[in-house]
Amino acid sequence: MLIERVCNARVRQQVYASSQGDFTMQLGAVADSFIDATAEPSSQYSEANKNATSGIPKHELVNCDLRASASGFRPSTLSLFDLSSAFSNMVDVGAILVHRAKAKGATVSANSYKVPAKARKAFEQGFAAQKSGKLADAQQYFQRAVEIYPKYVIAWFQLGSVLQKENDTNGARKAFTEASTIDSKYLPAFLSLSILAYKAENWQEVRELTAHILDLDPLNYARVRGDILDLDFLNYADAYFYNAVANYKLNHLEDAEKSAIKAERLGLRSHFPQVHLILSDIFAKKGNYTSAIAEIQSFLEEAPNSKYADSAREHLTKYQQLEASARKKLEQKE
C-alpha cells in the first residue's frame, strides 16, 4: 500500500506501509522521500528525520491530503488540515479504509454475443476497411451490420467513429446515441458523445454524460476485449476533465474543483494542461492565492507556448500581488 502526502495536487512525500498496514511519515521531511516502512519504528523515524525541517505550519496543510492506494483498490484520502488540530509531536491518523474497485460500466456490450453471422461478417469487413483507411467502404459495411441486427452496439459505435472521421458530426452523434440507448453501460459511446458535446460547448449535456461515465466506472480504466476489438487500455479519466470544464462553465464550482483535482491526480495534466487554469480560478475565488499561483506556474511549465499563456501570466502577476497584500494585512494584525 502506497501512502502519499499530496498538496495542491502534487505528491510531496511517499512511504510504503508494512504488511500489517502501519506507516510513519515525518511532516517537513524533504519532498519525495521514500521510507522503508518495514523497518523498526525508531529507524523509520531516524530516516524520516534526515534533512527534515521543524515541521509544516498549519496554514500550509489546507490543501494537503494523505492518499492510500494499491492496485485493484480505489484510492482513499484523509485531509491533513482536518487532522492538524490534533498535531503535537506525533499523531495517529487511524485507519485509512480502501475498497476494491468494481467498475459497473463496460467496453463490450452483452448484445455483441447475440449477433447473427451475417451481421458479424459485415462488421468484420467494415473493421478491416476502417483499419485500411477505406472509410466509405467501412461506413457501408457497418450500416449493413446494423440493418441486419439493429441492436449491434459496437457496430453502431464504429459507424459513429467512421462518420466522425468523415466530418459528419450529426450522423456520428446519431450513431453514438443509438449505441448508448441500446446499452446504457457501454462507455465508449458516452465518452464520444461527451467529446462532441464539449466541442459544441453544450455544457449541460457534457455534465450529464460525463457524470454517467464516472458513475459507471469510478476508476476510469477499462479494457476492450473481444474477437474483433483488441485495444490497449482505454483511459476514461478524460471524463474528469470534461466534467470539470462543464461544471466550471455552469458555475458548479465545488463539483468542478473535485473533478479537476481528480484529473490532475490521474495524470491528465500533460494531456489537458488547462485543468490548472480551472483550479487556479476556483482557488482565487476562494481567496487561496497561494494555490492559485501554484496552479498557474504548473500550467506555464507544461504549456509555455499555449494560446492561454499570456493571459495566465497576467493572472499570475495579479494573484502574486493579492497574496502579498493579504500577507501584509495578516502581519499587521499579528
pLDDT, tens digit (0-9, with 9 covering 90-100), for 269-293: 567 889 999 999 999 999 999 999 9
Q: What is the rounded CA–CA span in Å between residue 119 and residue 77?
A: 48
Confidence of residue 49 (pLDDT cuts 50, 70, 90): very low
Q: Which fold has domain 110-235?
A: 1.25.40
Edge-to-edge strands, sheet with 10-16 = 34-35, 10-16, 2-7, 64-69, 76-79
- Phi, psi angles (nearest 5°) of residue 186: -85, 100
Q: What is the rounded CA–CA span in Å between residue 221 and residue 236?
A: 6
Q: Residue 142 has which C-alpha cell?
A: 457497418
| Percent of the chain topping pLDDT 70 | 72
pLDDT of residue 217: 63
pLDDT of residue 110: 52
Coil, helix or strand at residue 14: strand
Confidence of residue 59 (pLDDT cuts 50, 70, 90): low
Give me the residue spans of the domains in the chain: 2-100, 110-235, 265-333
The yes-or-no answer to whether 110-235 and 265-333 have a common fold is: yes
Confidence of residue 202 (pLDDT cuts 50, 70, 90): very high
pLDDT of residue 220: 44
Confidence of residue 93 (pLDDT cuts 50, 70, 90): confident
Q: What is the rounded CA–CA span in Å between residue 27 and residue 72?
A: 28
Predicted structure pTM score: 0.65
pLDDT of residue 247: 96
What is the C-alpha R_g of the chain? 24
**Measured torsion, CA atoms of residues 187, 191, 193, 198, in degrees rounded to the nearest 10:** 160
Of residues 207 and 66, more confidently modeled: 207
- Chain segment 223-262, per-residue pLDDT in tens: 333 333 333 334 567 889 999 999 999 999 999 999 998 8
Pairing of the two strands 10-16 and 34-35? parallel
Mean pLDDT of 110-119: 75
Coil, helix or strand at residue 167: coil
Q: What is the rounded CA–CA span in Å between residue 67 and residue 49?
A: 21
Within 8 A by CB and 6+ apart from 11, the residues are 4, 5, 32
Nearest CA to 123 out of 95, 166, 155, 149 is that of 155
Within 8 A by CB and 6+ apart from 79, the residues are 64, 65
- Strand segments, DSSP code E, in 30-122 are 34-35, 64-69, 73-74, 76-79, 99-100
Residue whose entry in the numeric block shows the C-alpha cell 452523434: 173
pLDDT of residue 326: 86
Task: Choose which CATH entry (1.10.1040, 2.60.40, 1.25.40, 1.10.150) describes domain 265-333.
Answer: 1.25.40
DSSP readout, 78-93?
EEHHHHGGG-SS----
Confidence of residue 29 (pLDDT cuts 50, 70, 90): very low
Mean pLDDT for all residues in the chain = 79
Of residues 266 and 294, more confidently modeled: 294
Nearest CA to 113 out of 128, 123, 104 is that of 123
Residue whose entry in the numeric block shows the C-alpha cell 505528491: 11
Q: Is the pLDDT of residue 48 over 80?
A: no
pLDDT of residue 17: 81
